[in-house]
């Protein structure tokens, strides 16, 4: 029997997974203040994150048998008895679900929550996907890698969804969030079923579950791990246009050639406008940096 508790995200799953982008954005923006002012760093914990049926099916489709690209971590404090499963090795339900997690609707929700513009998914799920940690396993307190070297993108947001039914405190496995100076644990989060944790991935967003799990037979700590990025800035010091360039063929009509010339003028006009806006923004940033340095001298 499915729970009648309302989920945060009203995802429709009668024909794939569908969520209106404007709806998801509005839901995210409603949570922005709670997220931004959370301690020890921007984060939020959300229960009943997914529709109950979807959460149940994700657990039901969690692969029991080993897959071709599984990674098993036995690195001591760096991760022990931890299995990472690539979504592409899973069945069609799981693949479709992860396609949704990388969709525009999910990105709009996360941009609304975090107020970070231009978020990008990782189609390779580097370090992410499905995680399963067995008895005695742990993951030491850490701040995650910041740069996806293969994509040359900057990691900005982590999203975790837990799939553990009837989880007991005696099992351990709580996600610990530590302050930026590593002097105190500020929050611990039990990895209970259909609970989501979202947090900024900064150089000092310290987290983990560092104590060995004490699990009965047949129980493991299961989660979905998703990481989101922003692109590295691509400078344009010359002001050269980087927009679509239309060209005419030699035998095209005069009307087509006139249309191409008109499009070229629009292209250059747009490039000039964007370049001037970029220059103004750069100057504002430089002035802000100078102001910050001057203020620091008088502290």
In tens, the pLDDT along 159-180 reads 999 999 999 999 999 999 999 9
178-204 pLDDT, tens digit each = 999 999 999 999 999 999 999 999 999
Which pLDDT band, with edges at 50, 70 and 90, does 149 fall under? very high
* Section 267-290 average pLDDT: 71
Read off the pTM. 0.85
Region 115-137: what's the mean pLDDT?
Answer: 97
For the domain made up of 21-231, give the CATH fold.
Answer: Jelly Rolls (2.60.120)
* Average pLDDT score, the chain: 92
Residue 294's pLDDT is: 62
State yes or no: pLDDT of 267 exceeds 90. Answer: no
Q: Give per-residue pLDDT as tens, 71-90.
A: 999 999 999 999 999 999 99
Taking the CB of residue 121, how many other CB atoms lie within 10 A of it? 21
- Enumerate the domain spans of the chain: 21-231, 236-299
Tell me what the mean pLDDT of segment 23-27 comes to: 98
For the cut 90, the answer to whether the pLDDT of residue 290 exceeds it is no
């Amino acid at each position: 029997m499915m729970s009648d508790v309302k989920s945060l995200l009203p995802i429709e799953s009668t024909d794939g997974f569908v969520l209106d982008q404007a709806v998801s954005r509005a839901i995210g923006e409603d949570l922005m203040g709670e997220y931004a002012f959370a301690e020890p760093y921007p984060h939020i914990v959300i229960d009943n994150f997914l529709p109950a049926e979807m959460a149940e099916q994700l657990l039901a489709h969690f692969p029991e048998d080993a897959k071709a690209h599984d990674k098993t971590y036995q690195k001591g404090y760096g991760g022990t008895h931890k299995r990472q499963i690539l979504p592409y090795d899973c069945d069609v339900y799981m693949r479709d679900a992860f396609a949704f997690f990388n969709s525009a609707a999910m990105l709009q929700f996360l941009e609304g929550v975090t107020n970070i513009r231009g978020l990008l998914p990782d189609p390779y799920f580097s370090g992410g996907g499905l995680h399963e940690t067995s008895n005695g396993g742990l993951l030491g307190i850490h701040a995650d890698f910041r740069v996806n070297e293969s994509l040359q993108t900057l990691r900005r947001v982590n999203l975790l969804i837990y799939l553990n039914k009837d989880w007991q405190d005696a099992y351990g496995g709580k996600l610990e969030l530590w302050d930026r100076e590593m002097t105190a644990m500020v929050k611990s989060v039990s990895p209970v079923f259909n609970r989501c944790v979202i947090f900024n991935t900064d150089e000092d967003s310290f987290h983990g579950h560092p104590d060995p799990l004490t699990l009965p037979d047949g129980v493991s700590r299961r989660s979905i791990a998703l990481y989101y990025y922003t692109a590295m800035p691509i400078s344009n010091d010359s002001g050269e246009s980087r927009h679509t360039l239309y060209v005419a063929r030699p035998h095209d009509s005069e009307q087509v050639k006139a249309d191409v010339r008109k499009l070229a003028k629009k292209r250059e006009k747009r490039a000039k406008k964007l370049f001037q806006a970029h220059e103004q923004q750069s100057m504002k940033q430089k002035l802000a940096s100078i102001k910050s340095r001057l203020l620091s001298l008088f502290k």
